[in-house]
Structure 1
């Protein structure tokens, strides 16, 4: 089991109210919801940084060429539905 730590933060009252309301509508405690929100936020930032690093120094054209190369390997295996067209 992971060791638990206590983190005290200062947030505006309106943000605390929003957190409490959202936690309540989700049926979880404020602590559970805050942990979820922190985790989700950190994951979003880490994912963004991963992709920024992957495309660093590449041109838009080279990224599109790589995408098209992969899509060509996958193929369509039949007609694509209208909702799945670019």
Structure 2
């Protein structure tokens, strides 16, 4: 089991109210929601950094060419299935 730690942060009152309201709307505790929000935020930053690293030094054209190559493997679908129509 992971060791539990306490983190005290100072936030504006209006943000605290928004966090409390959102946690209540989601039916979770303030702590559970804060953990979720921190985890999601860190994951978003990590993903952005990974993508930046992957495209570093590449041109827009080479990225587009790679995308087209992958999409070419998918094949064309002329008819959408019923479940995929609006």
Q: TM-score range by the shorter chain?
A: 0.7 to 0.9
Aligned-pair distance for 1:64? 0.2
Q: State how 1:1-86 maps to structure 2 within 5 Å.
A: 1-76=1-76, 78-79=77-78, 81=80
Q: 1:72 to 1:31 in 2, by over 3 A?
A: same
Flag structure 1 segments of 5+ consecutive residues without an equivalent. Answer: none
Figure out how many residues of one structure are paired with residues of the other and give that number: 82
CA separation in 1, counterparts of 2:78 and 2:5?
53
Following TM superposition, where does structure 1 have runs of at least 4 consecutive aligned residues deviating by more than 3 angstroms? Answer: none
Aligned-pair distance for 1:74? 2.1
Q: If the length of structure 2 is used for normalisation, what is the TM-score?
A: 0.88
Q: If the length of structure 1 is used for normalisation, what is the TM-score?
A: 0.88
Alignment RMSD, CA only? 1.6
Q: 1:53 to 1:80 in 2, by over 3 A?
A: farther
3-state SS, counterpart of residue 7 of structure 1: coil
